[in-house]
A and B are shown apart, each in its own frame.
Chain A
Amino acid sequence: MRRRLNRQFVVFTYAFIALLTFLLAEGCRKDPNMEPCNSLAATPYSLVKPLRFPDMTIPSNNPLTEEGIDLGHYLFYDSTLSFNHTISCGTCHRPEYGFADSGKVFSLNAKSLPTKRNTPALLNSGYQNKFFYDGRQLTLEDAIDDAIVHEMFVDWDASIKYLSASSFYNQKFVAAFGCDSAINKQNIIKSMAQFIRTIISSGKSDIDTKLIAPNNPSLLSAAEYNGYQLFVSARGDCFHCHFTSPLTSDNLFHNSGLEDSDTTFFGFKDLGRGGFTKDSIDNGKFKTPTLRNIAMTGPYMHDGSLQTLKDVIDFYSDSVKWSPTLDPKMIHAGNIRLRLTPTEKADMLAFMNTMSDREISVNPKYTNPFYRH
């Protein structure tokens, strides 16, 4: 009896082990339907950022990949996305002009009509949380969609059909998005956003190598140093908006006195932020632009009304206008004009030029890839 029980136990134990093995094997077996597609096939990309730059917040549904960036790079320069195939994003955001337009007050949209505002520089856009001078878009993806629709007048169906007919693009979409490689609006925008997020400072401008990274202003030339001292003092008073981080923009909205709106909140030619928020206290306010590569991005201000950097310095020195929403930081002991001396102006200009990062204008990571074919 005892021997029979032992035998039953042995049989039971071996059966139990066999069942476990079977279940484990089944659990590990791959679904054959999943084999051909691998959405994680693209190669993750790590941004290389200059010292003291923050980590960029990347949306979880659009991680950076080598292949996604590569696709976005081509689409950025592809005029297919304009309704009449005349302009691409790269037409108005040119690397040699700091990713702003080529000296134009207003760019021309796909219908050859002037844009409403001066084209902003795209450098370091991935660090922003509000886009356009009025901050009307909150994500880079939405900002791209906005520009493609309102400046390029995209016909999505036609553009997608055109791209779908291209084996070149078919391969690039598969490489970038794997399982989800459909050539559609979402993937087009996602890849372009990935590319634009890589357009960041190289860290090789003088302000990086002489001032921000080593924190040693004495490495600057005498004029640059004097300009820096003016920049960070209440006398020049640029630092409140432009030196709160190495990005050289506080990402906030200010009325810096470009327009006189008489005594009302509504006399501005362009309501700026207020035109979006519909709150009159925001009228005349515009997002602080980056000063990175500022020497390359003229003309200046949201309306492109100041042709040169010298004009900008002259404006802040001698021509700021009062209006009800003028930023209190623009008023200095009752004066809204700095009245800089000619030497101070020249020093300030020298310091502005330390922000230039020429490398991005020639780096093939950013320049038009079609020219290489």
Chain B
Amino acid sequence: MRTINIFSIVIVSVGLLLMANACKPDPIPIAKGTLTLHFKPVINGADLIPQSGLYINTAQNVRFKVDMLQFYICDLVVKRADDSIVSLTGAKHVGLIKVMDIISKDVSFSLPEGEYKEVGFTLGLNSALNSTQPGDYSTDHPLGTDNGNYWIMNSSYVFTKLEGVMDTTASGTGSFTRSFLFHLGTNDFAAPVNYMKLFTIAKDQTNTINVNMDVLTMFNGAFPIDMRSEVSTNTTDNLPLAQKFKNNFIQSISIP
């Protein structure tokens, strides 16, 4: 009889234990919201219209069209109001911004709710990401084969591409028979940037921050590029021009 009593006690105890565990509250999840960076390329204050928009670089008296503007960003780093840092690194936080494509001008990140005062990211790819290659990813990943942004011969992704055609005739009435092409890649051309910006991330809400890009500054910035003579770099074949373009590209970006 005593055995049965002990058996009963064990069964009841196990049952109580299971019930108690079932009622134990889960750890409180961190409330998160979404930060979307919306890249907004402009020329003379108006939105860039790739391929069909016709523009004039009055400083150089050159008419031009932008055929392609695209670039990677990675390593989002945001500073909270209390100076603590939240950073998102790795391939799943890489953004490929394609200005030709409206839906690809945005990159979104999931962040803990709260008040923030700075936002930063790397233009291009860090060395760890750049040591990978498209075969390491699914074809549709930003770093995969679908995007055509890799140089096999340099074992590097192409971080930034700006391409277009131009009319360099003095009269400005010629055809668009000349081109410009600035392709940046290799580790030295990744560029961390940081901006002071107060913003709030609220639970389950999206906060969109506009990131302005002044396309004319890419030519006429602190390191002016002569559109008649400095027309092409694939980085390694024209390092001085690549460096100028990199500096101007950084300068062209601002967060109001």
Q: Do A and B bind each other?
A: yes
Size of chain B's interface in residues, with CB distance under 8 A?
44
Complex-state Cα separation, A10 to B11, whole angstroms: 12
Given contacts A54-B134, A234-B237, A333-B231, is CB(A243)–CB(B163) below 8 Å?
no
Identify A9's interface contact among B4, B51, B137, CB under 8 A: B4
Rounded to whole Å, the gap between the CB of A218 and the closest CB of chain B is 13
Q: Which residue of B lies closest to A263 (CB)?
A: B175
Identify B153's interface contact among A9, A53, A243, CB under 8 A: A243
Rounded to whole Å, the gap between the CB of A123 and the closest CB of chain B is 14
Q: Is the CB of B151 within 8 A of A244?
A: yes
Q: Which residue of B lies closest to A333 (CB)?
A: B231
| In the complex, chain B residues whose CB is within 8 Å of the CB of A234 | 232, 234, 237
Rounded to whole Å, the gap between the CB of A105 and the closest CB of chain B is 28
Q: Which residue of B lies closest to A17 (CB)?
A: B11
Interface residues of B (CB under 8 A from A): 1, 4-5, 7-8, 11, 51-52, 67-68, 133-140, 144-153, 155, 158, 163-165, 175-181, 231-232, 234, 237
Rounded to whole Å, the gap between the CB of A329 and the closest CB of chain B is 6
| In the complex, chain A residues whose CB is within 8 Å of the CB of B1 | 3, 6
List the 6 closest pairs (A to B, CB-CB), nearest first: A250-B148, A328-B179, A331-B179, A232-B153, A245-B145, A244-B148
Complex-state Cα separation, A329 to B8, whole angstroms: 83
Complex-state Cα separation, A250 to B150, whole angstroms: 9
Q: List 10 A-B contacts (CB under 8 A).
A: A6-B4, A13-B11, A51-B135, A244-B151, A244-B152, A245-B134, A247-B145, A252-B148, A330-B179, A336-B177
Interface residues of A (CB under 8 A from B): 3, 6, 9-10, 13, 51-57, 127, 129, 212, 215, 232-234, 239, 241, 243-247, 250-252, 263, 281, 322, 324, 326-334, 336
Complex-state Cα separation, A9 to B145, whole angstroms: 69
Chief secondary structure at chain B's binding surface: mixed
Rounded to whole Å, the gap between the CB of A148 and the closest CB of chain B is 25
Q: Is the CB of B139 within 8 A of A129?
A: yes
| In the complex, chain B residues whose CB is within 8 Å of the CB of A328 | 67-68, 163-165, 179-181
Q: Is the CB of B140 within 8 A of A57?
A: yes
Q: Is the CB of B139 within 8 A of A127?
A: yes
Q: Is the CB of B232 within 8 A of A332?
A: yes
Q: Is the CB of B148 within 8 A of A241?
A: yes
Complex-state Cα separation, A247 to B149, whole angstroms: 13
Q: Is the CB of A246 within 8 A of B151?
A: no
Complex-state Cα separation, A233 to B238, whole angstroms: 11
| In the complex, chain A residues whose CB is within 8 Å of the CB of B163 | 328-329
Identify B67's interface contact among A51, A327, A334, CB under 8 A: A327
Chief secondary structure at chain A's binding surface: loop
Q: Is the CB of A129 within 8 A of B11?
A: no
Q: Is the CB of B138 within 8 A of A54?
A: yes
Complex-state Cα separation, A260 to B214, whole angstroms: 34
Complex-state Cα separation, A252 to B101, whole angstroms: 13
Complex-state Cα separation, A245 to B5, whole angstroms: 73
Q: Is the CB of B140 within 8 A of A129?
A: yes
Complex-state Cα separation, A22 to B61, whole angstroms: 88
Q: Is the CB of A251 within 8 A of B181?
A: no
Complex-state Cα separation, A336 to B1, whole angstroms: 101
Complex-state Cα separation, A53 to B136, whole angstroms: 8
Complex-state Cα separation, A56 to B140, whole angstroms: 10
| In the complex, chain A residues whose CB is within 8 Å of the CB of B146 | 129, 251
Rounded to whole Å, the gap between the CB of B166 and the closest CB of chain A is 9
| In the complex, chain A residues whose CB is within 8 Å of the CB of B147 | 250
| In the complex, chain B residues whose CB is within 8 Å of the CB of A6 | 1, 4-5
| In the complex, chain B residues whose CB is within 8 Å of the CB of A334 | 177-178
Complex-state Cα separation, A246 to B148, whole angstroms: 11
Q: Which residue of A lies closest to B137 (CB)?
A: A54
Given contacts A13-B7, A54-B138, 17 further A-B contacts (CB under 8 A): A13-B8, A13-B11, A52-B135, A54-B144, A54-B145, A127-B145, A212-B152, A215-B155, A244-B149, A245-B133, A250-B148, A251-B148, A252-B148, A326-B165, A328-B180, A329-B163, A331-B179
| In the complex, chain B residues whose CB is within 8 Å of the CB of A251 | 145-146, 148
Complex-state Cα separation, A86 to B165, whole angstroms: 48
Q: Is the CB of A333 within 8 A of B232?
A: yes
| In the complex, chain B residues whose CB is within 8 Å of the CB of A322 | 175, 177
| In the complex, chain B residues whose CB is within 8 Å of the CB of A53 | 135
Q: Which residue of A lies closest to B5 (CB)?
A: A6
Complex-state Cα separation, A243 to B158, whole angstroms: 12
Rounded to whole Å, the gap between the CB of A316 and the closest CB of chain B is 16
| In the complex, chain B residues whose CB is within 8 Å of the CB of A326 | 165
Q: Is the CB of B232 within 8 A of A10?
A: no
| In the complex, chain A residues whose CB is within 8 Å of the CB of B175 | 263, 322
Complex-state Cα separation, A334 to B140, whole angstroms: 34
Q: Is the CB of A57 within 8 A of B138?
A: yes
Complex-state Cα separation, A241 to B152, whole angstroms: 12
Complex-state Cα separation, A335 to B144, whole angstroms: 32
Complex-state Cα separation, A362 to B201, whole angstroms: 60
